[in-house]
Structure 1
Amino acid sequence: MTLPDTPRRRVNFFEGRLVTAEDLGSEQQASRERVWLHNRMLHGAGVVAGFEVSVEGEELVVSPGMAIDGFGREIVLTGGGARLDGSDVVAESHGRVHLAVSWAEEPDDEVIGPDGPVPGHFVERPRLSLREIGAAGADADHVVLARVHRAGTVLVADGSVRRHVRRSGHGDR
């Protein structure tokens, strides 16, 4: 759990101040960083809810859910969940292959800015990946959902490796 390196700084808005895109971006980033710090320090990294993993043939099926990565970012998978091809998992993986989710964002649309086209919005879309995880564990930017291996030729997803966040005051775990 890491604390910020510098003191918090925020824009001082007042009547008559010219507000720039940089001011608004700074305010937005400061707000995001406060939430990330809260999540990191009070809850830790792991699955909050959902993100159940099942197998259908050679596909890994992940249900909608929420997790917090090691940086405190909220990873939210909405809609009908997601699927990932698991056919590359081989029997000799020795249980080191894990299905992980990470935070990601991508431009959603385009608007014309002063210097040409720029993203009008960003949408957070988690990324699923199969990763070989050694004794050191997952990177801070990934949350492990399941260990993936083969029992003979059958693909298996073992969710016992999932780590859940601390949920103070919630007796449902």
Structure 2
Amino acid sequence: MEPITEPSRVNYFYGRLLTAEDFEQEQQAIRERHWLHNRLLHGFGVVTGLDVTVDGDRVEVSAGVAIDALGREVLLLEPRCLRADSEVLGNDGAAVDVVVAWGEQPDGEVPGPDGPVPARFVERPVVALASDAAAGVPEHALPLARLVRRGDEVVADRSPRQPFVPVLAYS
């Protein structure tokens, strides 16, 4: 759980010089309030879609929506394919999780004072195969399925999937 901080905002007035840092802080404050709202009033998990299907060593995650434990929306707008070949799932009984996590990437370039800088940041989820102790798996990733090798076949077990869990209303 992320700590809750005191909300603050920029004080706008005529003649004030605004910096890039002022705008960055304003954006971040809005994002954090929205994430707090999601986290505390709605819950987290897979809201819809994000189904995992396996065809040979090809794993597909369908488009869908989830909310991670920090309250960030994870929007996968198009199906994403992964490979679960013998290098990933070698032995009979071997297992690996299919996970999805919030992510953002720079998009485009504009000139900055010290060289090119990203023009925008696009929220683009990370879909990955991850063993229980895999390094590099994004923090707060949501499990979608566990892939298990059974002989020559790879099957998707949905039991690790984190369904959307709404916060219970007070009674």
TM-score normalised to structure 1 length: 0.84
Aligned length: 163
Match of 1:90 in 2: 90
Superimposed CA distance per residue, residues 73-121 of structure 1 (whole angstroms, 9 cap, x where no aligned partner): 1111113x100111111345554x2110111111110000122110001
On the 8 A contact 1:98/1:130 being kept in 2, the answer is: yes
Q: Is 2:111 aligned against 1:112?
A: yes
| Mapping 1:124-135, distance limit 5 Å | 124-133=123-132
* Long gaps (5+) in structure 2: none
Match of 1:42 in 2: 41
On the 8 A contact 2:54/2:154 being kept in 1, the answer is: yes
Q: CA deviation at 1:39?
A: 1.6
Q: CA deviation at 1:13?
A: 1.6
On the 8 A contact 1:71/1:140 being kept in 2, the answer is: no
Identity rate, percent: 47
Match of 1:145 in 2: 144
> SS in structure 2 opposite 1:45?
strand
**1-structure distance, mates of 2:43, 2:101:** 15
TM-score normalised to structure 2 length: 0.85
Match of 2:61 in 1: 62
- Superposition RMSD in Å: 2.1
- The residue type paired with residue 75 of structure 1 is V
Superimposed CA distance per residue, residues 132-158 of structure 1 (whole angstroms, 9 cap, x where no aligned partner): 237xxx985200000110122111111
Summarize the Cα distance change of 1:139–1:128 in structure 2 as closer, same or farther, 3 Å threshold: closer
